[in-house]
Structure 1
Amino acid sequence: MKNIFFLFFAMLAVNAVAQNNFKVPKYEKFTLKNGLTIYLMEQHEVPLINVSAVFDAGAMNDGDRYGLSSLTADALVFGTQKYTKPQIEEMTDFVGATLNTVAGKESAGLTSSFAAKDQEKLFDIIQQVLMYPVFDATEFDKHKQRTLLELTQQKESPRSVIGNYFNVFLFKSFPYATPVGGTKSTVEKITSADVKAFYKSNYTTGRGAIAVVGDFKTADMKKTITALFSNWKTAESRMVKRVAPDLEFDKSRVLLVNKDDARETTFLIGGKGIDYNSPDYVPVLVMNTILGGRFTSWLNDALRVNSGLTYGAGSRFSRYKYAGTFAISTFTKNSTTVPAIDMALSVLDSLHKTGINEEILASAKAYVKGDFPPEYESAGALARLLTDMFVYNFDGNFINTFQSKVDGLTTAQAKEVIATYFPKNNLQFVLIGKADEIRDQVKKYGEITEKQIKADGF
């Protein structure tokens, strides 16, 4: 029995050391003659292969046709030169594979996971979806009608849409304000011809990358991927120069979105955050863990545990390539809207005025370090990490130095990070609730602008 306990604790110790020394596994990166970037990473623990493909085809390229990038990504699987939509679905389901297309603000593409023994069949489908989509008009029109219905339904759930209102309120005319899923009025006007044109302009090899992670030999996979994609000819990739948006505000503002039947007020409070490659991301993450990044955070303790004003409260930094935002988020009954907002502001203020001590910092460090390696436990997560490296132009050092940066954070540095990156003045408030019940009470937070949630757009 003693030997069993010794072995158990020894395994725990080895696992802890492994977590504290987590590094990006070895991978190979190369570029095909058409400009497409390829990442290959062997992972032999399970007989699976995961693929992540990304292109400069996110919502930032929608212009005023909000939802175009999202509909284009969806439509990639509506049939190809070789397979119909039902055939793609049947073939992937039959072997237990997954194949999903997705669009975000800055990129779009696909992810797939399948057994190594089925790779020939799945790579054939992936090649067809990426290189030879036909954007079947009948399938597209059916999907568009479902999308319009979903856009209507989303407005019934404030937590589903408040982020869009927040982004528009802060980013204004910068493309990060673009709602990825679109609006009813913009989606209604988009046709299958539009998505076909968007695909031709934005799914270009010069601004694209494919990562393959899993049970294979790199030399063999390199031959496979080269044979599949090296002859892909696309339009010339576009380099769009953008200037980072100005998120410095000279006064506090309130956006009040009226929902007549609301029994709760859902709100975000925040302002300027950090961009994706901020050198201070790690200390910011640790400090946010204390404020609102875990269940035992100050915000959740104050608003849920101690006062019962909500079922949950938190804070987060949303990072993009050129800029980012910080926001405190929660929801509460109409009658406790102001007490909840005041308490959230008080907690943020205490982060600045009281700061943190060694014990609090040590707890946050342990939490962040423990939460970090599991993010990259699966081959699918590693594949997405590699394509994120491509999209946001960073390398393995970000991961490899993560835990040492956490360990090196001091209380003095933490104080500087709080002062620099956690906004406390000229905050921006977005509230979705019953305006007649809260309008007069929330005037004290800043100049009010009102919208109706039933109105189209954000």
Structure 2
Amino acid sequence: MTRKLITITALAAALSAAGLSHAAEFRLPEFDTITLQNGLTVYLMERHEVPLISVRAVVKAGSVNDGKQAGLSNLTGDALLLGTTAHDKAAIDQAFDYRGARLAGGAGAEASTVQANFAKADAAALLPLFAEVVQQPSFNDVELGKLRTRKVNGIKQAKEAPRNVVQTYYRAMLFGDSPYGIPASGTVDSVGALKQGDVQRYYQQYYRPDNAAIIVVGDFQKTEMRKQIESLFGAWKASGPAPARQDNGKVQADKARVLLVNKPDATETTFLIGGAGIARNDPDYVPIQVVNTVLGGRFTSWLNDELRVNSGLTYGASSQFGTLSQTGTFAISSFTALPKTEAALALAHQTYQRLWDKGIDKATLESAKAYVKGQFPPRYETGEQLAGLLGEMYANQVGREQIDNFTKSVDSLTPEKAKALIDKHFPRSKLQTVLIGKADTIRDIAKTYGDVTEIDITADGFR
């Protein structure tokens, strides 16, 4: 699939270069939205191009709901695949593997997902198993113990490669003790302390029909599929009051700050620079992607040109908006050899300042618009991708108008509007910085970018 996407993207870029920059307007295919009597939301989208079906369950629960038990949502999401009250893990794995189907699960900051992809001919056998996994997990204690051990080991190993954990440090720094600051993976101590009862309690509290959606995309007839979903999920019951909407926190950026994470054996410095961003359903979500494409959203961006191509300070530099349902983050990200840390940070700041000093001219903006339009439709060409999009829309309260108006939103962007977006959404002062590297070498450099808090990478946790 990756190779196919690359090919399509390359073709789109070639057409743009040839002057054919007016990409076909993309509209989200039609789908039905149904609410069952138990409160379960159901999305059904027919796609008959290939005899495949993608189904997923999305539950509005993630690390923001972990409280003092960081990693609980992550462990629970993966533990759903450890077997059901009727079938053990081996039987479920065999049922899917034998048919060349796929079953996966996991949890993020605000949503947990179970997804399956299988042939239309196998729906009768696998859809009931999928429903079992979602509604009747056994949370087998032996299997759960093995999973917990793997996760603890994974947390330890992740810190060996700073690029694996720099975003987690960044979120923890930006959001502090608020729910958005909770590391999704948890910490060695927090995950190691989780028990079967914790997972069962979390499941009962958040995995309920009035807090979830079932999404089916693929080769089926809506009327028949609706009957199947009602039959398989209609008896799912919720107990107690539904989870209340909570405030997950805002970025703390009242002054310029630096989190210096000491890794004494590091030969590189990994860094993020930024601050507050936007929510996933923000009206400016689409045009801000175009502006960010110029700054750091593609290989020919300003940041990559300056830090990689022109100066050779790094193998790559980028910028991105990390969106959440209530807010988001913005970050410039890169890494550099330890002796080049000072130069790389200075150049990153200098390049970022170009947004205000020079702005984005029409030719540069038109190039970015063509690039973004060329990339957008291929992201949603398969049933699995469309199911993922519908799940994202459900979890983040994104209306279909954002998708349907994508081309219009891109085409209407002018240099003047881009400037307004820059002034509104790109943090300019009181920047927040995470540096992971050898503190003895870069400590004085860190001080030039704000008040420094220093921690050791071997310490359990991320702040």
SS at match of 1:445: coil
Instruction: Identify which of 281, 285, 292 aligns with 1:281.
Output: 285
C-alpha displacement at 1:17, in angstroms? 9.8
Q: Does 1:28 align with 2:32?
A: yes
CA distance in 2, matches of 1:37, 1:289: 35
TM-score by length of 1: 0.95
Instruction: Identify which of 345, 351, 354 aligns with 2:355.
Output: 351
In 2 relative to 1, CA 378–152 (structure 1 residues): closer, same or farther, beyond 3 Å? same
Match of 1:408?
412
C-alpha displacement at 1:123, in angstroms? 0.6
Match of 1:133?
137
The Cα offsets for residues 341-392 of structure 1, whole Å up to 9 and x where unpaired, read as 0000000101111001110010000001011111111101111111222111
User: Is this contact kept in 2: 1:79–1:85, CA < 8 A?
Assistant: yes
Instruction: Identify which of 311, 318, 329 aligns with 1:325.
Output: 329
Match of 2:382?
378
Counterpart of 1:59, as a letter, is S
SS at match of 1:386: helix
User: Is this contact kept in 1: 2:51–2:218, CA < 8 A?
Assistant: yes
C-alpha displacement at 1:57, in angstroms? 2.0
- Write the mapping of 1:135-284 to structure 2, written as runs, cut at 5 A: 135-236=139-240, 238-243=242-247, 245-247=249-251, 249-284=253-288
Q: Which deviates the most, 380-389 or 18-27? A: 18-27
CA distance in 1, matches of 2:379, 2:60: 24
CA distance in 2, matches of 1:250, 1:114: 50
CA distance in 2, matches of 1:46, 1:303: 44
C-alpha displacement at 1:251, in angstroms? 1.8
Q: Does 1:309 align with 2:313?
A: yes
Instruction: Identify which of 387, 392, 399 aligns with 1:395.
Output: 399
User: Is this contact kept in 2: 1:205–1:237, CA < 8 A?
Assistant: no
SS at match of 2:279: coil
SS at match of 1:231: coil
Q: Does 1:417 align with 2:411?
A: no
Match of 1:76?
80
- Write the mapping of 1:57-72 to structure 2, written as runs, cut at 5 A: 57-72=61-76
SS at match of 2:254: coil
User: Is this contact kept in 2: 1:19–1:373, CA < 8 A?
Assistant: no
CA distance in 2, matches of 1:401, 1:351: 26
**Percent identity, aligned pairs only?**
47
C-alpha displacement at 1:147, in angstroms? 1.0
The Cα offsets for residues 290-315 of structure 1, whole Å up to 9 and x where unpaired, read as 00000000000000000000000000
Gaps of 5+ in 1: 1-7
SS at match of 2:283: coil
CA distance in 2, matches of 1:57, 1:442: 36
The Cα offsets for residues 174-195 of structure 1, whole Å up to 9 and x where unpaired, read as 1111111110000111011211
C-alpha displacement at 1:56, in angstroms? 1.9
User: Is this contact kept in 2: 1:202–1:237, CA < 8 A?
Assistant: no
User: Is this contact kept in 2: 1:36–1:206, CA < 8 A?
Assistant: yes
SS at match of 2:261: strand
Counterpart of 1:386, as a letter, is L
Counterpart of 2:238, as a letter, is T
Q: Does 1:112 align with 2:116?
A: yes
C-alpha displacement at 1:248, in angstroms? 5.5
Match of 2:300?
296
Match of 1:3?
none
Tell me the C-alpha RMSD between the 2 structures. 1.7
Counterpart of 1:226, as a letter, is E
Gaps of 5+ in 2: 1-10
Counterpart of 1:140, as a letter, is L
Count residues in correspondence: 447
User: Is this contact kept in 1: 2:286–2:406, CA < 8 A?
Assistant: yes
SS at match of 1:398: helix
The Cα offsets for residues 111-163 of structure 1, whole Å up to 9 and x where unpaired, read as 11000000011111101101111100000001111111111100101001111
C-alpha displacement at 1:249, in angstroms? 2.3
User: Is this contact kept in 1: 2:269–2:435, CA < 8 A?
Assistant: yes
Counterpart of 2:444, as a letter, is D
The Cα offsets for residues 265-307 of structure 1, whole Å up to 9 and x where unpaired, read as 0000000111111111122111100000000000000000000
C-alpha displacement at 1:243, in angstroms? 3.6
CA distance in 2, matches of 1:247, 1:178: 13
The Cα offsets for residues 236-268 of structure 1, whole Å up to 9 and x where unpaired, read as 453423346343623211110000100000000
Counterpart of 1:272, as a letter, is A
Match of 1:369?
373
Counterpart of 1:278, as a letter, is D
The Cα offsets for residues 214-236 of structure 1, whole Å up to 9 and x where unpaired, read as 00111111111111111111224
Counterpart of 2:401, as a letter, is N
CA distance in 2, matches of 1:132, 1:253: 46
